[in-house]
Amino acid sequence: MTDNTAIALYQGVEVQQAAYMAAFSQPDGMASIIRQICEQAQNQAAEAGTDMDKAANRKQLASIAYAVAKAKTAIDGTGKDLVAEAKAKIKIVDDNRKAVRDQLGELQEQIRRPVTDWEAAEAEKQAEIDRLLAQIESIGQASENGQLIGSERLKYRRDELLPPYLQHENSDVRAAAAEASSRLQEHIAAAEQREAQQAEIARLKAEQEAREQAERDARIAAAAAERAKAEAEAKARAEQEAANRAKWEAEQQAIRAEQEKQAALARIEQEKAAAAEAERRRIEAERRAQEEAEAARAADIEHRRTINREVYSVMLDCGIPEKAAQAFLLRLQNGDVPHLKIQY
């Protein structure tokens, strides 16, 4: 198929092969073709008629829609084939790029490896030097965790911790150790002066505390003597007051005893009177209770007799012989009649 070959994309819509293929790679390249197909299909649909009750009209519209679907599928298939070809070309390019990156990158790494190894070794050496310098810096400090270090510990750092660094092969380490040793000497002098001052302050404070303690002891002794005198006088007053209070209490106790005796006699008389009254009330209550019980029994007997006479009368009215009625009523009273009971 040549580039000048005409392609029928839809009934009445044809396009040259070259223009058709070029349209896929241009922005809005398919707009003209889409517009032609739309115009042609819409004109055909208008000619087919809009009366859907006619089978011919429905068939015609369905046929036009099917033709549009075929055009759509054909054009989309062409675009899909172009995309597949483009992807295949892109993959070839990507494969070549990857081969260049992998092989030349490996070559680059291989050639530079001695330099890289040397740089790594130097970095490791420098890291060790930096670590030693940090240790030396820490050893040369006058304080630790916010607290000043004593002269003895500073001397231990100078005499025991620093010497190995002073003999190190690296000049920077030796120089840092020498500087730290000089600083420690200054810190030691300052610490010794500070400790001497603190010792003097402690001595003066101890003397002051001893004087103050002696004064406190003297005041305590004087206060104790004064307190002993006051306690003796208070004891004498307390003993006199106790004697007076004991005499008064004895007199009050005698008065209370006489009052309690009279009150006890009065209570005995009251209790006797109350007991006699209680006994009288008990006897009266028993009498009333007995009378009420006898009246209740008499009323109950009379009530039962009335009910029995009424039941007996009904049995006689029903034609039951007198003796049979009496016998039945007696059994009924005794509860010997099954399923039947008189409700008094």
pLDDT tens string 23-41: 888 888 888 888 988 988 8
Determine the average pLDDT of the residues in 313-321: 91
pLDDT at 112 over 70: yes
CA quadruple 130, 131, 135, 136: dihedral sign: negative
Q: What is the pLDDT of residues 183-206, one digit of tens each?
A: 888 889 888 898 888 888 988 888
Domain boundaries, given as residue ranges, for the chain: 6-116, 136-222
pLDDT score for 3: 57
3-state secondary structure of 342: coil
For residue 154, which of 136, 142, 169 has the smallest C-alpha distance?
142
pTM of the model: 0.35
Contact (Cβ atoms closer than 8 angstroms) between residue 166 and residue 178:
yes
| Residues 250/254/260/266 CA torsion (nearest 10 deg) | -170
13 contact partners, CB below 8 Å, separation of at least 6: 33, 36, 37, 40, 71
Give the chain's mean pLDDT.
86
pLDDT score for 318: 92
Structure tokens at 298: 């008499």
Distance CA 86, CA 65 (A): 32
pLDDT score for 321: 92
For residue 183, which of 143, 222, 214, 216 has the smallest C-alpha distance?
143
Please name the residue ranges forming H helices in the chain: 17-23, 31-48, 55-139, 151-156, 163-166, 171-317, 322-334
Distance CA 112, CA 115 (A): 5
3-state secondary structure of 13: strand
The single-letter code of the amino acid at 319 is G
Determine the average pLDDT of the residues in 197-219: 87
Determine the average pLDDT of the residues in 33-62: 84
| Residues 325/331/336/338 CA torsion (nearest 10 deg) | 20
Determine the average pLDDT of the residues in 83-96: 83
Distance CA 109, CA 92 (A): 26
Confidence of residue 1 (pLDDT cuts 50, 70, 90): very low
- Matching residue, tokens 């310098």: 133
Q: Report the largest interatomic distance among the alpha carbons of the chain, rounded to a whole angstrom.
A: 155
Determine the average pLDDT of the residues in 60-80: 87
3-state secondary structure of 319: coil
